[in-house]
């Protein structure tokens, strides 16, 4: 009987390619964010889920930063043609883009290489590049709150929201300034691979996986009366009983405030209303339970405080665009990958630590 050779192993999937466009005057911190966040996730075999490249609008070479150094960028604009995701970090030497809302020829040529299927994101003032290219016309977008008014004036066709940390408009995403770029990149990881993978990246990066509110809480406003209490105690109280009905008046009473005063203070501190905040926390709770437990959809709905599966389904579809069942089917595997990867890594660290302790013990014995 002839021996049938085994079928060759399928080629591993190509990592999702993220190309970061480095422009003169870039901010080094923002340039590093995509590398830090997308460089972390791994699949169940330890293979990277993303590949991150940095390119310029010119051939490989130096690019000026807004600090006292330049960075060597290894790729030219041709790298953009291979991108699954393109990220434009903040930069402050955009010339006609800032002055008249017009692209330079080399920048227009570079952006023209981006595949139509690619996802495009900006961090902080990188949004000016997308707006000048016409990619934000008729869309909602954000930037650093200090630049929002100027952005709106220069690009009236863009719906600028100065209060949020980031805007996800499907194939175009924009973020507010500086650390909001971390929020945006974690959101993209969460969208691609689920909350468990994103939370694991956040934990290893020592940042919160999700920040409450928007950048409205960072805009300078008249200093509030120091005698007025914060609403943080009520938020902590609510988080401990998401599975119960929570009334606005109950939260206000926790801080000894009227409902009207509490609502105003809550919005000042978080950038959203108490109802919006509470719904967001319940959605996050539901996501976690769908990914990490065997609870039925009805049980998850009750535990997260939605009461019924129908109510939870409506809220998840509004927030995430998927049903609870579809979310669990898509992201349960991601949660298991994150758990397996964490176990493998921690096991390797424990083994190394045991080895080091053995060496130390031997040295003492000697």
Tell me the pairing of strands 16-21 and 85-88.
parallel
Catalytic site positions: 124
Q: At what angle do helices 274-292 and 309-320 cross, to 10 degrees?
A: 100
**Which of 215, 199, 164 has its CA nearest to residue 287?**
199
- The pair of structure tokens assigned to 272 is 């959203």
Helix, strand, coil percent values for the chain (each to nearest 5): 50, 15, 35
């Amino acid at each position: 009987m002839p021996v049938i050779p085994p079928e060759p192993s399928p080629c591993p999937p190509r990592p999702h390619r993220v190309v970061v466009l480095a422009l003169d005057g870039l901010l080094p911190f923002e340039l590093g964010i995509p590398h830090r966040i997308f460089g972390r996730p791994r699949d169940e075999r330890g293979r990277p889920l993303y590949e991150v490249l940095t390119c310029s609008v010119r051939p490989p070479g130096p690019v000026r930063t807004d600090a006292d150094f330049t960075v060597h960028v290894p790729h030219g604009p041709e790298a953009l043609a291979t991108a699954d995701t393109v990220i434009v970090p903040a930069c402050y030497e955009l010339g006609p883009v800032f002055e008249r809302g017009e692209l330079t020829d080399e920048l227009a040529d570079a952006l023209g290489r981006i595949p139509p299927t690619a996802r495009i994101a900006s961090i902080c003032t990188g949004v000016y590049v997308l707006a000048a290219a016409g990619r934000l016309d008729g869309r909602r977008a954000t930037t650093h709150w200090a630049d929002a008014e100027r952005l709106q004036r220069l690009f009236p066709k863009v719906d600028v929201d100065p209060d949020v940390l980031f805007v996800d408009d499907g194939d175009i995403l924009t973020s507010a300034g500086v650390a909001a770029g971390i929020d945006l990149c974690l959101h993209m990881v969460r969208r691609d691979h689920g909350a468990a993978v994103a939370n694991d990246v956040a934990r290893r990066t020592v940042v919160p996986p999700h920040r409450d509110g928007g950048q409205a809480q960072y805009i300078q406003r008249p200093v509030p009366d120091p005698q007025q209490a914060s609403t943080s105690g009520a938020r902590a109280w609510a988080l401990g009983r998401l599975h119960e009905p929570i009334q606005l008046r109950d939260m206000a009473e926790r801080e000894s405030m009227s409902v009207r005063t509490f609502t105003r203070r809550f919005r000042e501190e978080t950038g959203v209303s108490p109802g919006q905040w509470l719904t967001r926390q319940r959605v996050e709770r539901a996501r976690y339970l769908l990914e990490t437990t065997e609870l039925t959809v009805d049980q998850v709905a009750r535990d997260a405080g939605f009461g019924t599966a129908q109510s939870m389904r409506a809220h998840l579809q509004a927030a995430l665009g998927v049903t609870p069942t579809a979310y669990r089917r898509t992201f349960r595997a991601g949660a298991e990958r994150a758990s397996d990867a964490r176990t493998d890594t921690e096991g390797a660290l424990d083994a190394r630590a045991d080895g080091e302790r053995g060496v130390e013990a031997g040295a003492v014995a000697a």
